[in-house]
Structure 1
């Protein structure tokens, strides 16, 4: 019996198959993302229904596109059975492709079962016509349709599994292309199966003749085709829209969760090192207090600060300083137990909360462990260096029963460790609070000093060895406080250095020295060269030389009247930078002296490159002239000979005995200073000394070197 096809419906069947395939690919990606089993099952069921409707609709539209010279109809019951088969096949396919792994045997087995299921749906749908006599199928085309169904199913399963990751690049383009191929394969199977059907001449459609529960040919077919097409497109499009909405909702939920985690992390951890921050540490200490109070046990707070970190930060830059902090934090984590907490409070301050301690000795061992590991050095930004902490230890409950008290006591113990040499640790003692309070008061006094007149300069004279005349002076800072009285430099200079106040105080010293030189000039005294000490913190300031030059010009003093002293050990911390700074001073017209020579670790090559005007022999070697006999004399003699060979003057400080004076004079030391010759004097007393020298030696040089 001859047959024909409605090409418009054929084209629509291909479009439906392609859309159904794309929906299947999208659903595979959506189901894969579902972590909750209930949601996964819901998407599998809904996806199977949509995909099943799509596949069955393609088949049914293809059937409606087919026509014979007799009226055709379709039994609703059998047609419903074919739709049910489509649902089952779709559920099975989605379940297979959304597995985490898809092995080759499972792929082949799944493809065979799915192909048989699709073929079963097709031939069940054909049976819904209830042809009399029945439809005969050509064996080769029947086998070909079955083979196409199986091969197409295997390919579809593999493609869907490969494209289930929605994060792939150009995923929509890839899925569209794959859907087109899958759609053609599915329709190819259908129309091959239709071509295999052989309808006998004179056959009739039993679905039209024998039952009211059927769909007849003619106008009803056109209406039915339009209804099925619209209904199918609506289901598939709604399914895709729901999938996209769920994807965006999932993305939004994921983004909110990620943002929430980031907010929690920012609120809990230090962003630079990844350690706990202050607020998190406070919570853990409060919890430890409650637990230890209930169990009558103890814990320790180890408060630490990195020695010399400010110098590293200022000289090598903040970026390198950050790398040092991160490297130190990682080393610190290796020193603690799993139950301990490590936090960064800010800057270079770190804290270890050590819980479940049996005795104070456990805390001491942990402090020793930290120091031992840090002596091994750290690697920051590819550079190996040693960064040592000073550690203060406070114990609960004996040193305090609150977070603030314990941290304050541990901090006080840490400063005690710094005062006693750094790179060590100390347990908190009650007296340390008094020292910490004194430190705070001195720091406040330093802040108020310039405004309230607490600071004053004294001048220690330097004498020429050959004539005994005053050769110059060294400006020495003094602090006279209403509460503390007159403080020695050793009591306040280290505090000013740690707090950074030394920078502005240093500029005050330069300005006040210039003003005093001008006063001496106004009093008719000869021009005077005055030495001013530069601190380590001052040397890290990029604008040090320009700022000092501005001060000198404003006070109308010649640069040649000032000499700046740099301690040898400080000069060698960053020798190349020191050389650059010295050359800046020299180009501006200032002279430089290396102070405390012999106590550091100078390289002779660098000493030559410094090209300074003067070396000052440390008082340790001056004392050695009396205490160490020939060895002490040999060392001082060698230093003087070295300086003279480099065309530098030599000043010996700390001269306190006649024998020291005589030996230095015999060695041709250029200048001396010390209590034997003259103690530090007020500006007025130093002026009186100069007036006396002018009276006794009227021909003294107008410019003292």
Structure 2
């Protein structure tokens, strides 16, 4: 049979088999010889529409030779060739692949090729049917999805580093130390470890004289020297400022002091040969962990109490130390005293409300405030919140304190409304202890109804620790808060390792960025601000307001405004102040 007749018969058979289907589906279908050119034998009208070339023009320019058509992008033809050869070698009966194809307009399309080998031959070459499908939008969407996934992974990695790596020493952060220490203590059992809290004396003076960078160099040096003395299974971290924690193997007092003496000696070895030495001195508290069930925060509290007591000891050594024992009893006595007096103190209004203003960065005005509680003891004076709040959380009295604060805030808002004063939303902290009761919002509603205060003026702050400890429980809690009309904020976001993915399920109104994000007061750490900016961008996409906490410098404030953070809260704008001072500040701002 002549070649022309063979071609005609092949084309006719193709028309008979595929014309109806391809016309209905607008599919590009073509028949090719499996030769070195993939010579086109027949194609339906949609083939030419697909590539943009009319049939006559295609034949005149490319002579039905697809390899000539692909001359400008041979790497894409190579993808097809590779799949054809593989199919022939493994007798698969056809192939599928995705590669690019140039349209007449010059646009490169992503095309899926689906080919079936036929039991037909022309000029001794087997024939195949090929269907082409434009998958450009799908490929572009996949590329965009991969880019978004990569960006999210990078943001999470940056957050993980921010949470787990100390920015100064490049060693463990407090968060990572807490996790690792708790695990090792629990696995080892009672009496296996002791926690040493180490604080550098007069370090602030060194910072003031030599500058922050020199201070950081000293901190890195101290960290490196302490790390040299660690044994397998022991841990070290800078906890805050110039305070370090060491989890060491438990030993008797003499051996422990011998080890600590060696550490301090190595820290001060840089003075050897100096005419005017400068010795770094330290105070230390040591707590032998006899109860591995204690939370790591309680273990640290005990070593901190001992360390603070050691500061008063006079010594010719370069460090002072106290082992936690009698100090423990004294602290328990103070807590017992607080427990004996707390109900009476609440009834006598010894707990006082302070307000810390939140500044709107858009116009510099007050956009709200956080209500904070202070205990003014008539005998002891101001009792630090970090002394009574953790204790009240442990014994459950924090519930009564929180409701007292909420009552005073509602009374204050009612008075502002009645007197025609400027009014801004006030946020109150809610302890996890409330969540033990399924009807935890009932007393809040009763108080609010008593004062007839609009719920939208009240915001309930939940801490990051509460949320990420049990996100399933908190999803329902937040829904309840919203059903009752209150706003809800996530406080301390970033103080631990926060997963950005979890935010899609935590339907809060406000995201409060913890001071851990803002370690650089000069706002010069580009990587740190890239992370902050990414979190704020994500919050905006989730329609969350953002509040930056612990802001202490004008540079930080300016940078936050530049990246469109909604509000800040910190000493750069105002410390926590009594209600009367806040009212005066709010009124003066509104009058301006």
TM range (shorter): 0.3 to 0.5
Rg larger in 1 or in 2?
Answer: 1
User: Higher helix fraction: Structure 1 or Structure 2?
Assistant: 1
* TM-score, normalised by the number of residues in structure 1: 0.40
User: Higher strand fraction: Structure 1 or Structure 2?
Assistant: 2
* TM-score, normalised by the number of residues in structure 2: 0.47
